[in-house]
Amino acid sequence: MPTRPFFPCAGARALHAPTRREFLYGLGASIGGLAFTSLLRAEEKPNPLAPHPGHFPAKAKNCIFLMMEGGPSHIDTFDPKPKLAELHLQEFVRQGKQKSAMESGKRYYVRSPFAFHKCGQSGADMAENWEHLAGVADDLCFFRGCQVDSVNHPTAMYQMNCGNRFGGDPAIGAWVTYGIGSLNQNLPGFIVLPEVSYPQGGAANWSNGFLPAHFQGTPLRPKGSPILDIDPPAGVNMERERVNLDLIAQLNQMQQARHPWQDELAARMDNYELAFRMQAQVPEVLDLSQEDAKTKELYGIGRDATDSFGRKCLLARKLVEKGVRFVQLYNGSWDSHDYIERAHGNLIRSVDQPIAALISDLKQRGLLESTLIVWCGEFGRTPDNGVRMGTTYGRDHNPKAMTIWLAGGGCHAGHTIGATDELGMEAVEGVAHVRDFHVTLLRLLGLDDNKLTYYHAGRFKQLSQFGGKVIRDLIA
């Protein structure tokens, strides 16, 4: 909306006095306003992804986040419930008399199809089909007290990844790289290894949200070239490409001078330079053929069941070894509403050996102590489900009970924190909201959620949304 004209001049009366808005606008164009703007620009980091210290000393320097999309059943993986064997196929009711589900056709209790045993000196509970992970049980810290707010996959995924059920906020990896930068300026600081089909909620699960565009996650393609056009086209060498980039940079700098607060343009310019540097380093990092046969065998590469996730885990090790700050791996299809024995059995088989190999490999290279590993889904499962033909047993979504485990990075290895009730329906000991879990992850990486803020939409925002408490028992 145009403002009214104001023409002060000697010997003439102004057409009208300036409005408050016009007065403030004029201040912005004054020498003082320009000086203030210059000071603000001077305070900006020359490289947003440059490594810088956190708020606290921390053992964890990197994070590998293993996201089991769909909601793994804690009752069938790491939280045994013998009581369900007694109630198997009895009608699920919170109060009153129970009767056979075969008679009622209603919801019924379902026992786990998997036997459990105690693993390691810590006596960690694991289903027996975790054959390889059992060997590193003492490196794990199990947390059974976490609760979330949603039973819908997209909103629960957003909450676990970004702290907000409705999307649009920065992912954990974005917050971490915003807080402490990255250790390798030739690779993205936040890398995502998705499946062919993106998780529910899509790329918003690794978005930069309202943070500057530098901090968004970079997904690598699971098939074919992980990054398209990483190699220069035929006939174009690096020197020619450098000349082209310099010309583009000059044009972009002219545009940025006219629009200095467009961080998307600044991020695009930085990404051009990063892409140029990546051409030299990425092919080496992504080339798993250089790994010896023993290492590939360790991760299960070459076997049908474990090849896909094994490659992701090996690549994650290489990425953190090269200084990438945050790597997130996705494994989907854990939404087992029926045939849970077959579905969870196959899924556990696909990730068991690769995850155990990742922990062992990092440990023998001296990197486990400085690398925080997180394993979780977006929620847990119920102890009951509907009956179909009396055989296709499965479980529904459960936001009030789940199992998450940590390894490395200063976590309380060899301990199980929190507990669920005798049926696995709800956390009853060590209960904590997911915001508290997020605050704890940041603390393990040396960051204070109350100080790691960004001003947006009229207030300072943070990963936990409104603050949370550190779960002290998860930290060694």
Q: Average pLDDT, whole number, for the chain?
A: 86
Per-residue confidence (pLDDT) for residue 251, from 0 to 100: 79
CA angle, residues 71, 76, 82, in degrees to nearest 5:
135
Q: Are strands 326-331 and 190-193 parallel, antiparallel or unpaired?
A: parallel
Name beta bridge partners: 127: 116
Q: Which residues contact 58 (CB under 8 A, 6 or more apart)?
A: 409, 410, 443, 444, 445, 446, 447
Beta strands in 85-242 (DSSP E): 108-109, 116-119, 124-127, 140-143, 146-147, 190-193, 218-219
What does 100-114 look like in DSSP terms, one character per residue?
Answer: BHHHH-S-EE---SS
Per-residue confidence (pLDDT) for residue 6, from 0 to 100: 38
- Between CA 307 and CA 291 the distance in angstroms is 14
How confident is the model over 17-62, as pLDDT tens digits?
Answer: 666 655 554 555 454 544 444 444 444 446 889 999 999 999 999 9
Q: Which residue has the tokens 């080339």?
A: 287
Largest distance between two CA atoms of the chain: 100
Burial (CB count within 10 angstroms: exposed 0-12, middle 13-18, buried 19+), residue 352: buried
C-beta of residue 373 within 8 angstroms of C-beta of residue 410: no
How confident is the model over 109-129, as pLDDT tens digits?
Answer: 999 999 999 999 999 999 999
- Between CA 86 and CA 226 the distance in angstroms is 49
CA-nearest of 347, 320, 331 to 408 is 320
- Between CA 56 and CA 3 the distance in angstroms is 50
pTM of the model: 0.83
Per-residue confidence (pLDDT) for residue 7, from 0 to 100: 40
- Per DSSP, helices labelled H in 76-133 are 83-87, 101-104
Per-residue confidence (pLDDT) for residue 105, from 0 to 100: 54
**Three-class secondary structure of residue 203 per DSSP:** helix
Per-residue confidence (pLDDT) for residue 26, from 0 to 100: 55
How confident is the model over 267-319, as pLDDT tens digits?
Answer: 676 666 666 565 556 677 788 988 999 999 999 999 999 999 999 999 999 99
C-beta of residue 153 within 8 angstroms of C-beta of residue 115: no
C-beta of residue 378 within 8 angstroms of C-beta of residue 153: yes
Angular region, 418: left φ>0, alpha ψ -120 to 50, beta rest: left
3-state helix, strand, coil in the chain (%, to 5): 35, 15, 45
Per-residue confidence (pLDDT) for residue 276, from 0 to 100: 53
Burial (CB count within 10 angstroms: exposed 0-12, middle 13-18, buried 19+), residue 178: buried
Burial (CB count within 10 angstroms: exposed 0-12, middle 13-18, buried 19+), residue 5: exposed
Name beta bridge partners: 68: 331
Per-residue confidence (pLDDT) for residue 5, from 0 to 100: 41
What does 424-435 look like in DSSP terms, one character per residue?
Answer: SSSEEES-EEHH
Per-residue confidence (pLDDT) for residue 232, from 0 to 100: 64
C-beta of residue 372 within 8 angstroms of C-beta of residue 63: yes
Q: Output phi, psi for 404, to 5 deg.
A: -120, 140
CATH topology of domain 62-224+281-474: Alkaline Phosphatase, subunit A (3.40.720)
C-beta of residue 403 within 8 angstroms of C-beta of residue 141: no
Name the packing angle between helices 263-286 and 238-258 (round to 10°). 160
Per-residue confidence (pLDDT) for residue 58, from 0 to 100: 97
| Residue ranges in the chain whose pLDDT is less than 50 | 1-15, 25, 29, 31, 33-45, 96, 100-103, 389
Structure tokens belonging to residue 99: 């009767």
- Between CA 84 and CA 34 the distance in angstroms is 70
Per-residue confidence (pLDDT) for residue 94, from 0 to 100: 64
